[in-house]
Amino acid sequence: MTPTEPIVVIDDSLVIRRLVEAILTRAGREVHAFERASDALAEVGATVAPSVVLLDALLPDMDGAAVLEELRRRHGPATPPVVFVSGLDAAELPPADGYVQKPFTPARLLAAVADAEGAARA
């Protein structure tokens, strides 16, 4: 994985999507942001191969746990790392490749992305 690979953001909050996109874009990253999980699932693997998926736990069309399960079902060992970005406590979420609690700082978000990418390369 290289920093040139895009990052997928799935969050129903326009404010959060724009904030995350601004942070990542300033860091030189390409971002594909989605409000609905179904739209993101249709694109991941078909038109975009992300280095990381940043996933909200509560979405209007399916919850984050179901999205994570579906990504793993579809992509198996090639599933990109998934980092939950959520207001829920990490203990309330299924095991993933990372976790960032809302509200977050740009540094914390970027560190979680770097950690997930680093672990995927190892």
Quick check: is 99 in a domain? Answer: yes
Strand ranges for the chain from DSSP E: 7-10, 31-34, 52-55, 82-86, 98-101
C-alpha dist (Å) from residue 91 to 56, 99, 102:
15, 10, 14
Query: What residue type is assigned to position 27 of the chain?
Result: A
Separate counts of helices (H) and strands (E) for the chain: 4, 5
pLDDT at position 1 is 45
Please report, for the domain that includes residue 43, its CATH number: 3.40.50.2300
Q: How many CA atoms lie within 13 A of 88 on its CB side?
A: 16
Quick check: is 2 in a domain? Answer: no
Please report which confidence band the pLDDT of residue 119 belongs to, taking 50, 70 and 90 as the band edges.
confident
Q: Is the predicted pLDDT of residue 4 greater than 80, yes or no?
A: no
Residue keyed to tokens 């990052």: 7
Quick check: is 50 in a domain? Answer: yes
Mean pLDDT confidence for 53-61: 95
Please list the residues that pair with 8 across neighbouring strands.
Answer: 32, 53
Q: Is the predicted pLDDT of residue 12 greater than 60, yes or no?
A: yes
pTM: 0.94
pLDDT at position 46 is 87
pLDDT at position 45 is 85
Quick check: is 26 in a domain? Answer: yes
Average pLDDT, the chain: 93
Kindly report, residue by residue over 60-101, the tens digit of the pLDDT: 999 999 999 999 999 999 999 999 999 999 999 999 999 999
Note down the domain range covering 55. 7-121
pLDDT at position 122 is 74
DSSP-derived 3-state class of residue 7? strand
pLDDT at position 3 is 58
Total domains in the chain come to 1
C-alpha dist (Å) from residue 51 to 3, 5, 116, 121:
8, 6, 9, 10
Quick check: is 1 in a domain? Answer: no
Quick check: is 34 in a domain? Answer: yes
